[in-house]
Amino acid sequence: MPVNEAIRTIGFIGLGIMGKPMSKNLLKAGFEVVVLSRKKSVLEELLVVGAKAAQTPKAVAEQTQVVITMLPNSPQVKDVVLGDNGVIEGAAKGSVVIDMSSISPLASVEIEKRLESRGVEMLDAPVSGGEPKAIDGTLSVMVGGKKDVFDRCYDIMKAMASSVVRTGEIGAGNITKLANQIIVALNIAAMSEALVLATKAGVEPSLVFQAIRGGLAGSTVLDAKTPLVLDRKFNPGFRINLHIKDLLNALETSHELGVPLPLTSAVMEMLLALKVKGLGESDHCSLVKHYENLAAVEVKRSA
């Protein structure tokens, strides 16, 4: 398909918890969206609201000017973009791949080089905000890539987000996302320690939350996750397994760069322990259960 400045046709590959609502927001914004999904129910849901279907990543790319990928990790992105019948085989020169997955920055650089050899541009643009913000279109997007490509694709990303910030060249988006995930993980761990301490001391944790949320300890993480813990709601959200993946990418990147991450390493071990106990598909605020087990106490609202 010819590529021009007025991009109206978008491909979307990866219609999971995040990708499905993101693709719906593109449709609401007036873009033509071609989707690929292995789940018939998801595909039918999107067709009803105006999406078109394709059978392979190559076919998606042949029909669109920009292809967005929202996949679990680096191997899946490489397979969809660079593999047999991949996006690279169907993309026209000048078209763009926006990878909104959270993957290794080194993988982003590798994929971009392959695409560039075929005249295809790329942005790495991972997101933060979880399912609720994916649904209401208020995600934060962290973008790496050429500025002119970013400028061309800004309105596309803004249709799914309240904040879209370019942080540097290719790979910078995923470096920023790793920084984000470190801060989120450590926030949840700190929140868990504090609430378990309060509960063990006999202080109502919901009142502790109300008392501290407006001060320096307040954060988006505290506001989003404390009510879930207090109500014992651990359905995802953002799965422990996915946060383990992100922290593994952070630690591997830190080793490449020679940057010790001692607190990240400690939280990673806690999350792995919870995964071993069968909680990998639970929300990452289940980290509180690690501390509860150590202190023999349960954080919850008073009856």
For 72-88, how does the pLDDT look when each residue is reduced to its tens digit (9 = 90+)?
A: 999 999 999 999 999 99
Q: Is the pLDDT of residue 249 over 70?
A: yes
Strand partners, 124: 99, 144
- pLDDT of amino acid 78: 98
Q: What are 121's two structure tokens?
A: 């541009």
Q: What is the dihedral of CA 44, 49, 54, 60, to 10 degrees?
A: -150
The pLDDT tens digits of the residues spanning 171-228 come to 999 999 999 999 999 999 999 999 999 999 999 999 999 999 999 999 999 999 999 9
Residue-averaged pLDDT of the chain: 95
Distance separating alpha carbons of residues 284 and 185, to the nearest angstrom: 8
- pLDDT of amino acid 38: 85
Catalytic choice (177, 225, 245, 289): 177
Q: What are 96's two structure tokens?
A: 């763009």
- pLDDT of amino acid 2: 40
- pLDDT of amino acid 129: 87
Q: Strand runs (DSSP E) across the chain, as ranges?
A: 9-13, 32-36, 52-53, 66-69, 96-99, 121-124, 127-128, 139-144, 161-168
Domain boundaries, the chain: 9-170, 175-295
Find the range with the poorest average confidence among 2-16, 25-39, 108-122, 209-223: 2-16
Closest C-alpha among 263, 264, 288 to residue 191: 288
- pLDDT of amino acid 7: 86
Distance separating alpha carbons of residues 22 and 20, to the nearest angstrom: 5
- pLDDT of amino acid 236: 87
% of the chain with per-residue pLDDT over 70: 98
- Give yes or no: 113 in active site: no
Count Cβ atoms below 10 Å from residue 199 Cβ, excluding itself. 20
- pLDDT of amino acid 5: 52
Task: Give the pLDDT band of residue 3 (cuts 50, 70, 90).
Answer: very low
- CATH class of residue range 175-295: mainly alpha
Coil vs helix vs strand at 160: coil
CB 106 within 8 A of CB 78: no
In the CATH scheme, what architecture does the domain 9-170 have? 3-Layer(aba) Sandwich (3.40)
What is the sign, positive or negative, of the torsion defined by CA atoms of 143, 147, 149, 151? positive
Q: Is the pLDDT of residue 1 over 70?
A: no
Distance separating alpha carbons of residues 134 and 67, to the nearest angstrom: 18
% of the chain with per-residue pLDDT over 90: 93
Query: CA 96: distance to chain centroid?
Result: 20
Q: What integer is the mean pLDDT of 57-64?
A: 98
- pLDDT of amino acid 22: 98
Distance separating alpha carbons of residues 261 and 107, to the nearest angstrom: 21
**Cβ contacts of 36 within 8 Å, gap of 6 or more:** 11, 12, 13, 15, 53, 54, 55, 56, 57, 59, 60
Task: Give the pLDDT band of residue 237 (cuts 50, 70, 90).
Answer: confident
